[in-house]
Amino acid sequence: MKYQIYGEPMPVVICNVDPGEAMICESGAMSWMSPNMQMETVGGGVGKALGRMFSGENMFQNHYTAQGGPGMIAFASSFPGSIRAVEITPEHPVICQKKAFLASTAGVELSIHFQKKLGSGFFGGEGFVMQKLSGQGIAFLEIDGSAMEYNLGPGQQMVIDTGYLAMMDASVQMDVQTVKGLKNMMLGGEGIFNTVVSGPGKITLQTMPISSFIGLISGMLPKK
């Protein structure tokens, strides 16, 4: 499979696949394709289907396979931002925010990921349930806004405001910390909790979480 990502702030990834090669995506993610791409909707078992549902995706996935020759299929972003291609290997699974998964090659498996610490799930802003990508292949993930990547060394930390963590290596640990000082909590405008990630591993941050975007727009709407 060869791919090219075009355009921002509403990007699209166009994949050119070999005969018999398949791509996986969530329901409704396909934007356009060549006529020889054959679709099959699969669930992958009740457990996997429920896991995908709790991680913010559809219970069913669509498999598109090139029949009789090379094929082309495109997947467009659903929100202004970026599309990132991530290589997934058995030694390198990736944890990402809900709704990040856009599409992948057939060897990538999407499953549910629970935060080990309840505090990081309930107060960290990233959610107790996240997505885990494992297996072997290339996955395409949606980033809200632009993406910034950091490689954290062992024990190196980064403090992140709610919603700005898009994805991280599975080796990265996530926790929460309380904003210090009552005045800072009440008047600082940054909330009460921050997410803290600890290396080793790579993290990807996003510049415009959809939750922040919704809050900005809703504040401009006329009040009844």
pLDDT in tens, the chain (224 residues): 999 999 988 999 999 999 999 999 988 899 999 999 999 998 654 345 455 454 445 668 899 999 999 999 999 998 899 999 999 999 999 999 988 999 999 999 988 877 655 444 444 444 567 899 999 999 999 999 999 999 999 999 999 988 899 999 999 998 888 766 444 444 444 556 788 999 999 999 999 988 777 766 777 777 76
CA distances from 1 to 87, 102, 188, 224 (A): 13, 16, 48, 52
Reading across the β-sheet that carries 165-169, which strands appear in turn?
108-114, 129-135, 94-96, 165-169, 201-206, 147-152
* Residue type for position 10: M
CATH, range 2-212: 3.60.160.10
- Compute the C-alpha angle 171/174/175, nearest 5°: 150
Largest CA distance in the chain: 66
* Cα-based distances in Å from 138 to 3, 45, 107: 10, 23, 8
d(CA 182, CA 213): 27
Q: Dihedral sign, CA of 91, 195, 204, 17?
A: positive
Alpha-carbon gap, residue 191 to 184, rounded angstroms: 9
Element at 133 (helix H, strand E): strand 129-135
| Model pTM above 0.85 | no
Domain spans, the chain: 2-212
